[in-house]
């Protein structure tokens, strides 16, 4: 029998993108299992800012993955919109405002690197920032770093579109079923996963991909090399302005002091996010329980809002229409993301631990998994 059954555990942006990329191979029988609805984990809290060209990563795996995503995103979004007939909310272009003169040489050097790599990064004077974005306070700004090729995409809309398009190509989705373990078979020194178990049934498989975000920790706990991911809490908010900022036909995602301002259209904006580390970093299960049993500290989100108001004063007139939080899956003892074979399960792969960059890195992750599955 050909080895063509693939089970993906998790339907956040990572699992959904993997399912979609794999669905382009008609010989594969793909099942995605999630304990909840699509995008109900970290993905549902994300702002979807994909900082590739504008990130300081210029070489190695970190840049390679970013670049692969950057190249794949335009075609991926076009394919999804054609398949589903639905527009996916997004923005083209990110402006980072820098306030520290000592950072300027780093940006000048990055600009030269990006040019050599075939990407464009513009350095704007405060006056040039004002020309494009008159609503910003540039009195303390040293330079604006504008990246026309970087994007922001709505993570929930993206994930839902991926599910719809993958389903059209025959992928089976099982929502509301938690994976509780793996059925394995051993031959000599090799153990393989033959089935993925939920409370109600076992899904026979030839390949298993663990894309379960924070849920990857308990799933790998009994394997020879558990993958430990700790939660890092992030809070965000949605704000409405009676008068939208600047020219609504050319909105820009702004970042200042690591605070994103994401235009959503119609005078609505996302602002975020906090980065809150757990009190029990060595015990991820306790840390998650801790975060989920207390409401997050509103003063930390207010600090983020004040930080955004400092560079965009008009936000002070806005009405907050929503506040939320999510837990980012951060690998412990290894770099993010965790993209590697599943130790103790020769036909398994981990695609998890994307920490602050899961939306950015989803396309590159899916391509890496596709290459592994197709050998």
> Site residues for ligand FAD, window 215-234 (CB under 6 A)?
215, 219, 234
Cβ-based nearer residue to ligand FAD, 138 or 173: 173
The nearest distance, CB 268 to ligand FAD, in angstroms, is 16
Task: Indicate the residue whose CB is closest to ligand FAD.
Answer: 215
C-alpha distances out from residue 259 to 154, 172, 189, 262, 309, Å: 17, 38, 50, 10, 10
Choosing from 352, 364, 367, 369, the residue that interacts with ligand FAD (CB under 6 A) is: 352
- Report how far residue 261's alpha carbon sits from residue 68's, in angstroms, rounded to the nearest whole number: 25
Q: What is the contact mask toward ligand FAD in residues 115 to 154, using x (rule: CB under 6 A)?
A: ----------------------------------------
Cβ pair 233, 276 in contact under 8 A: yes
Token digits for 351?
A: 């695609």
Cβ-based nearer residue to ligand FAD, 138 or 362: 362
Reduced to 3 states (helix: H, G, I; strand: E, B; else coil), residue 314 is helix
236 lies in the binding site for ligand FAD (CB under 6 A): yes
Name the nearest CA neighbour of 288 among 230, 201, 204.
Answer: 230
The nearest distance, CB 364 to ligand FAD, in angstroms, is 11
| DSSP one-letter string for 144-206 | EEEEEEEEEE-HHHHHHHHHHHHHHTT-EEEES--EEEEEEEEETTEEEEEEEEESS-EEE-S
69 lies in the binding site for ligand FAD (CB under 6 A): no
35 lies in the binding site for ligand FAD (CB under 6 A): yes
- Report how far residue 95's alpha carbon sits from residue 255's, in angstroms, rounded to the nearest whole number: 6
49 lies in the binding site for ligand FAD (CB under 6 A): yes
How many residues in the shown chain lie near ligand FAD by CB under 6 A? 43
Choosing from 6, 14, 65, 229, the residue that interacts with ligand FAD (CB under 6 A) is: 14
368 lies in the binding site for ligand FAD (CB under 6 A): no
**Buried/exposed 222-239: b ≥16 CB within 10 Å, e otherwise:** ebeeebbbbbbbbbbbbb
Would you give the end-to-end CA distance of the chain in angstroms?
A: 17
> Site residues for ligand FAD, window 251-290 (CB under 6 A)?
272-273
> Site residues for ligand FAD, window 319-338 (CB under 6 A)?
326, 328-329
Q: What is the contact mask toward ligand FAD in residues 174 to 193, using x (rule: CB under 6 A)?
A: ----xx--------------
- Report how far residue 329's alpha carbon sits from residue 231's, in angstroms, rounded to the nearest whole number: 5
The nearest distance, CB 77 to ligand FAD, in angstroms, is 15
Residues contacting 91, CB < 8 A, separation 6+: 151, 152, 251, 252, 253, 262, 263
Q: Count of residues for the chain?
A: 375
Cβ pair 260, 270 in contact under 8 A: yes
Reduced to 3 states (helix: H, G, I; strand: E, B; else coil), residue 268 is strand
The nearest distance, CB 148 to ligand FAD, in angstroms, is 18
Cβ-based nearer residue to ligand FAD, 8 or 309: 8
Cβ pair 33, 182 in contact under 8 A: no
30 lies in the binding site for ligand FAD (CB under 6 A): no
The nearest distance, CB 125 to ligand FAD, in angstroms, is 27
Choosing from 8, 11, 88, 367, the residue that interacts with ligand FAD (CB under 6 A) is: 11
46 lies in the binding site for ligand FAD (CB under 6 A): yes
Choosing from 6, 21, 32, 34, the residue that interacts with ligand FAD (CB under 6 A) is: 34
356 lies in the binding site for ligand FAD (CB under 6 A): yes
- Report how far residue 340's alpha carbon sits from residue 348's, in angstroms, rounded to the nearest whole number: 9
CA gyration radius, the chain = 21
| Cα-Cα-Cα-Cα dihedral sign, residues 97, 269, 159, 249 | negative
Token digits for 361?
A: 């890195």
76 lies in the binding site for ligand FAD (CB under 6 A): no
**Only segment of 93-101, 127-135, 211-219, 305-313 that touches ligand FAD (CB under 6 A):** 211-219
- Report how far residue 78's alpha carbon sits from residue 101's, in angstroms, rounded to the nearest whole number: 40
Choosing from 6, 9, 349, 367, the residue that interacts with ligand FAD (CB under 6 A) is: 9
Which residues of the chain form contacts with ligand FAD (CB under 6 A)?
A: 9-15, 33-36, 40-43, 45-50, 178-179, 211-213, 215, 219, 234, 236, 272-273, 326, 328-329, 352, 354-360
């Amino acid at each position: 029998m050909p080895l063509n059954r693939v089970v993906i555990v998790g339907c956040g942006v990572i699992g959904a993108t993997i399912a979609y990329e794999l669905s382009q191979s008609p010989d594969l029988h793909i099942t995605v299992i999630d304990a909840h609805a699509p995008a109900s984990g970290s993905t549902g809290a994300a702002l979807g800012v994909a900082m590739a060209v504008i990130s300081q990563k210029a070489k190695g795996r970190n840049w390679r993955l970013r670049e692969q995503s950057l190249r794949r995103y335009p075609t991926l979004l076009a394919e999804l919109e054609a398949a589903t007939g639905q527009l996916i909310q997004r923005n083209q272009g990110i402006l980072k405002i820098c306030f520290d003169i000592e950072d300027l040489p780093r940006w000048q050097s990055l600009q030269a690197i990006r040019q050599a790599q075939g990407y464009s990064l513009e350095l704007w004077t405060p006056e040039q920032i004002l020309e494009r974005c008159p609503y910003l306070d540039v009195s303390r700004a040293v330079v604006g770093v504008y990246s026309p090729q970087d994007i922001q995409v709505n993570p929930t809309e993206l994930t839902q579109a991926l599910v719809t398009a993958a389903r059209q190509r025959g992928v089976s989705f099982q929502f509301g079923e938690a994976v509780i373990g793996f059925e394995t078979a051993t031959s000599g020194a090799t153990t393989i996963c033959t089935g993925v178990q939920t409370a109600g049934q076992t899904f026979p498989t030839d390949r298993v991909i663990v894309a379960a975000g924070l849920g990857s920790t308990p799933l790998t706990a009994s394997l020879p090399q558990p993958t430990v991911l700790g939660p890092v809490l992030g809070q965000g908010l949605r704000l409405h302005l009676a008068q939208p900022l600047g020219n609504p036909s050319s909105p820009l995602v702004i970042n200042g002091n690591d605070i994103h301002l994401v235009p959503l259209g119609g005078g609505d904006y996302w602002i975020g996010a906090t980065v809150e580390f757990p009190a029990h970093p060595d015990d991820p299960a306790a840390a998650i329980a801790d975060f989920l049993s207390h409401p997050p500290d509103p003063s930390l989100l207010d600090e983020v809002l004040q930080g955004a108001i400092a560079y965009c004063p008009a936000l002070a007139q806005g009405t907050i229409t929503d506040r939320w939080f999510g837990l980012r899956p951060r690998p412990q003892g290894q770099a993010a993301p965790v993209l590697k074979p599943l130790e103790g399960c020769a036909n398994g792969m981990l695609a998890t631990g994307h920490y602050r960059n899961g939306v950015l890195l989803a396309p590159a992750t899916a391509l890496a998994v596709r290459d592994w599955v197709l050998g």
